[in-house]
Amino acid sequence: MAKIENKVLGNEKSVKGWIIGISVAIPLAVAVLLFMPTKITALGDWVYFLPHLNAVINTAASVALIIALIFAKQKKFAYHGATMTVAFTLGAIFLVSYVIYHSAAESTSFGGEGIIRPIYYFLLITHILFAAIALFPILFAYYYGYTDQREKHRKLVKFAFPIWFYVSVTGVIVYLMISPYYTH
């Protein structure tokens, strides 16, 4: 057992480096994609389906997160881990889809008026801010859970879970609010 623990801890520095690198690189890449002056039009019109797919993926991820929380509360850790792996995989698929879409499509402007407008922008801005910081605690929490470092995992998920859940749910809400304004 001590040999396994030493191996995990020996690799942990490397893993932490990767997690920090990924947690910084992905939000920067997304920012570049959102603000790049010319989009990659060669991908074609099929990319306009991706926001709809992303909403389905975020909904499924939100459901997986709730189920995983229930399994954790019931101390069914194998089911919890499997369900979190589903949520994690859905998050990765979402991220790839999101990057493809924003590399090829112009951003859609929200056309709502009245009280709905500040509500939309509040949700959008908080969604973006939390999404930008979400990878760091999510990746560490997943790593600690995967390597059975339960105490570190428990401490971190107190922050990681609500952030991830908020980002997933507000992603769907923002999509539902802006979807009438998509031009494709």
Domains of the chain, by residue range, sit at: 2-181
Tell the CATH topology of 2-181.
Four Helix Bundle (Hemerythrin (Met), subunit A) (1.20.120)
Tell me the C-alpha distance between 38 and 18, whole Å.
Answer: 30
The stretch 114-137 carries a mean pLDDT of 94
117 has a pLDDT exceeding 60: yes
92 has a pLDDT exceeding 50: yes
Residue 3: how many other CB atoms lie within 10 Å: 7
Which band of pLDDT confidence, cut at 50, 70 and 90, is reported for residue 1? very low
Three-state secondary structure call for residue 38: coil
Tell me the C-alpha distance between 37 and 184, whole Å.
Answer: 20
Pair 8, 147: CB distance under 8 Å: yes
pTM: 0.84
The stretch 152-173 carries a mean pLDDT of 95
Using a pLDDT cut of 70, give the percent of the chain over it. 94
